[in-house]
A and B are shown apart, each in its own frame.
Chain A
Amino acid sequence: MRDLKVSFATRQGVVRAVDGLSFDVGPKEVLGIVGESGSGKSVAMYSILGLVRDANVEISGSVKFQGREILGLSDKEMQSVRGGEVGMIFQDPMTALTPVYTVGWQLVEQLRAHNDMTKQEARERARELLAEVGIPDPKSRLHHYPHEFSGGMRQRVVIAMALSCNPKLLIADEPTTALDVTTQAQILDLMERLQERHGSSIVIITHDMGVIAEIADRVIVMYAGRPAEIGPELDVVRSPRHPYTWGLLGAVPRADVKNRRLVTIPGNAVSPLAVPEGCAFAARCPHKMAICDERPPLRGAHQHLDACWLTDEQRLAIRSVATTRGES
Chain B
Amino acid sequence: MLELHDIHTYYGNIHALKGVSLRVEKGEIVCLIGANGAGKTTTLMSISGVTPPRQGAVTFLGEDVTRCTTEKIVSRGITQVPEGRMIFPRLTVRENLLMGAYLRKDKNGIKAGEERAYELFPVLRERRSQMGGTLSGGEQQMLAIGRALMAQPALLLLDEPSLGLAPMVVENIFEIIEQINAEGVTVMLVEQNAQMALQISHRGYVLETGAVTLEGPAADLLADPKVRSAYLGLD
| A-B complex is real | no
Residues of B within 8 A of A (CB): none
Q: Which residues of A contact B (CB under 8 A)?
A: none
